[in-house]
A and B are shown apart, each in its own frame.
Chain A
Amino acid sequence: MAGSRRESVGSILTRLQGLLRAGAMKAEDRPIWYDIVKAKPPKPVPPHREVQKILYPEDFVRARFYKTYADPGATVLSNENSKSIPQKFVDRYLELHGKGETEPSRLFEETTQSLAAEGVRLITHEERAAARGKSQVTNKSQASAVTPETTEPGTSEKVKVKSPSQKVDIKGLFDEKS
């Protein structure tokens, strides 16, 4: 097609209009898109603005939850109806906050107690560290049953702390596969 190949100058519409105005292209030779783009031009670009960070009130509750309590374990993502323990905690916290009966400074402890009454046991980082120390002692005594990876701190602490019997299951699982 005839016309300037300087794509940075104007838009395709203005460049084609230039061709038509100057007579370089006859009106009946104009491309199919011309009438459409002229009738429905691109929408103007909104002005630039600073991109804000997105934060929600529950973020602060969740941050304090993870600061205080150890990771409560895996969450089933396939089931959308089941809520994870941190989510339950956040919901309960906001619920208690909404009621307004509890003092803001006591709200966090109240939430923990409220969940404990339902059987959700939360382990703090200190408790977990203590439990890990204990399990490491037991691990050393049964060194033959433990692979080198599981003795490394932090890699599979969930398995170690929660149920030592599960560790044996995993071992068995690998044996079956191999």
Chain B
Amino acid sequence: MSLYSRMIRWRACQSVKSCCSLHKTALSRAKVNLEQVARFSGSKLVCNQQEVEAPTPMRGEETESVADTALQHDDYFGLKNLVTVRDLFEARVHLGHNSGLRHESMSPYIFGERQGTDIIDLEQTLPLLQHALDVCAHIVYRGGMVLFLSRNQQTLPWVERMAQEVGEYSHCRPWKRGIFTNASSIFSTLPIYPELCVFLGTQDTVFEMHLGIVESSKLLIPSIGVVDSNCDNSDLTYHVPGNDDTPAAIHLYLRLFREAVTRAKAKRKEDGLSLDPVAYDES
């Protein structure tokens, strides 16, 4: 069955039940949302709420949801045409560090050494970047929360502003050891963990790796990271070899992630996966 016809079928049923087939968390969120809305608005929503009250989570091969179909698509959010090797080159993504600072794990991604400076292979960076953007968009599409992290003082305000504007979260301040792994005692309550961590630079200081990488790996949270030629990529789930120091390069990454998140949210609304009260008002 084609994606389009699946969507038609999806639209036709438009029941909250199938919206909630995605995930238990999504289901509970839907309940909360609907309860809140029902408290403030008409009886139509209460009717919907009753539908939710007896949920039959749809799972298995024969009841694939729209999100699963979207996942089978090669480039569901059209992110492959967003960036070219030329764009990466002009944003100075290819510039690495001095060859003496090279990290062993980065050597497969280095094109060569030009007068003592490592040059990152953009032919390899591009597919990895597109892959990472696609994964990020799919997680947002399913209602996942994304946390953007960076420890670069110069780019801190841009990262925080971007995260705020797309409705996601950022952490660019010094990382207290145990923010993820010992959260209950640091925050004295159980926190909500993000579904994805995006590191726009994988270093905390010039000598140390960002602690968030190991902590997110420990807590089974996938991570995307821009790794420069002097960084360790082994603990990241998805790594993108590229320059993490130049403002032009950071601007490019931020533009791409902003686009990925925005498109995913738009698609989410379009496909009826959105659990916002507004979406129910329309139906």
Contacts and interface: CB of A to CB of B under 8 A. Distances in A.
- Give chain A's interface secondary structure class: loop
Contacts of A36: 71, 135, 138-139, 142
B110 A51 contact: yes
Nearest to B219: A1
Interface string B235-259: 1011100000000000000000000
Contact of B237 (A31, A42, A54): A42
Interface stretch (A8-16, A91-99, A131-139): A8-16
A77 B71 CA distance: 47
Contact of A27 (B59, B72, B114, B128): B59
- Among A35, A36, A39, A45, max chain B CB count under 10 A is at A36
For chain B, the bracket of interface size reads 35 or more
Given A40-B131, A43-B127, A51-B107, A7 B144 contact: no
Contact of B193 (A1, A27, A29, A46): A1
B134 interface: yes
A37 interface: yes
A78 B275 CA distance: 51
A5 interface: yes
A31 B135 contact: no
Nearest to A4: B218
Contacts of A3: 220
A48 B195 contact: no
B222 A51 contact: no
Given A12-B220, A31-B195, A40 B138 contact: yes
A50 to B, nearest CB: 8
B218 A5 contact: yes
B271 to A, nearest CB: 16
B108 A45 contact: yes
A42 B224 CA distance: 10
Interface string B125-144: 00110010011001100111
Interface string A90-111: 0000000000000000000000
Nearest to B214: A7
A53 interface: yes
Interface residues of A, number: 32
Interface in B135-155: 135, 138-139, 142-144
A7 B112 contact: no
Contact of A37 (B113, B127, B135, B219): B135
B66 interface: no
Contacts of B220: 1, 3, 12, 15-16, 31
A54 B114 contact: yes
Contacts of B114: 53-54
Contact of A12 (B109, B110, B217): B217
Contacts of B112: 51-54
Contact of B113 (A1, A12, A47, A52): A52
Nearest to B193: A1
A174 interface: no
A41 to B, nearest CB: 9
B228 interface: no
A5 to B, nearest CB: 4
Contacts of B158: none
B102 interface: yes
- What 8 pairs between A and B have smallest CB-CB spacing? A7-B217, A54-B112, A46-B108, A54-B114, A5-B218, A32-B144, A36-B138, A7-B218
Interface of A: 1, 3, 5-7, 11-12, 15-16, 27-33, 35-37, 39-40, 42-43, 45-49, 51-54
28 contacts: A1-B193, A7-B214, A7-B218, A12-B220, A12-B222, A27-B59, A28-B24, A28-B59, A30-B23, A32-B195, A35-B68, A36-B142, A37-B237, A40-B71, A40-B131, A42-B131, A42-B238, A42-B239, A43-B127, A45-B108, A46-B108, A47-B108, A49-B108, A51-B107, A51-B110, A51-B113, A53-B114, A54-B114
Interface of B: 22-26, 57, 59, 67-68, 71-72, 99, 102, 104-105, 107-114, 118-119, 124, 127-128, 131, 134-135, 138-139, 142-144, 181, 193, 195-196, 214, 217-222, 235, 237-239
